[in-house]
Amino acid sequence: MKVAIIGANGKVGRRIVERMRQAADFDPIALVRSADQCEAFARDGIEARLIDLEGGFAAGLVGADAVVFTAGSGAHTGKDKTLLVDLWGAARVIRHCREHGPRRFIMISAIRAGDPDEAEGGIKPYLVAKWAADEYLQHSGLEWTILRPGRLLDTPGTGRVAAATRLSRRHGEIPRDDVAAAVLAALRQPSTRGRIFELLSGEEPVETALR
C-alpha cells in the first residue's frame, strides 16, 4: 500500500515513515514543507514530495492509496496558524480526497478533541481546531479512522496500548512509537474504518487493541 504521510518530518510522522519503510506491505511517501526535508528523506531512499498545506498539495497525493494526516502548526505558532493548518489545512486535504482520492484517511488527532470544553487555557484553541477537523472528516464519505493519543512521549514504544472510542481515563501518556504502530495497524485492519480510537499506554498489543 502506497501511503502519503502529511507532516512526515514531525516526531510522529518520522516514526510512521520509518515503520512503513521496514514493512513489506507499505510504501511511504513523505510529504514535507521544505526542500531540505525533502532532500533528507530522499537521501534515506524514501520518496519525498514538497507540499504546502496553505497553498498547493494535490501533486503530493498522486498515486497514493491512503493518506495519514499528522501535520500540525506547532506549539510555538499563534492561533492563526492553528486555524490555517490544523483545521483548514486538514479540511482542504479531506475535500480533495473526497473529490479525487485516495479514499482511505487516517487522522492523528488528540485525546480531548472529542470535547474541547474539558480543557482550559492555551491548548483549547488547538483542541477546537482538531474537533472541527475530525467532525469534517467523519461527514466526508471517506474511509476514515481517527486516532486520538494522549500526551506524546519520546520514550521507546512498548507495543501495548489502551484503545477505545472513549477511554475511562482521559489523562495519560503514550510513546510516539506506539502511535506510529497504531497507524499501521489501522491501515491493515478494515474493521477500523469509521472508528475513533483514544489511545494511551496500556496492556493490550496494538493490533489486538484496535481489532
Residue 137, SS3 per DSSP: helix
What are the backbone angles phi and psi of residue 28, rounded to the nearest 5°? -80, 145
d(CA 9, CA 128) in angstroms, rounded, equals 24
Is residue 71 within 8 A of residue 89, CB to CB? The reply is yes
Residue 126 falls in the annotated catalytic set = yes
Cα torsion angle, 135, 170, 176, 162, sign: negative
C-alpha–C-alpha distance, residues 210 and 185, integer Å: 7
Catalytic residue among 26, 57, 69, 126: 126
Residues with a catalytic annotation lie at: 126
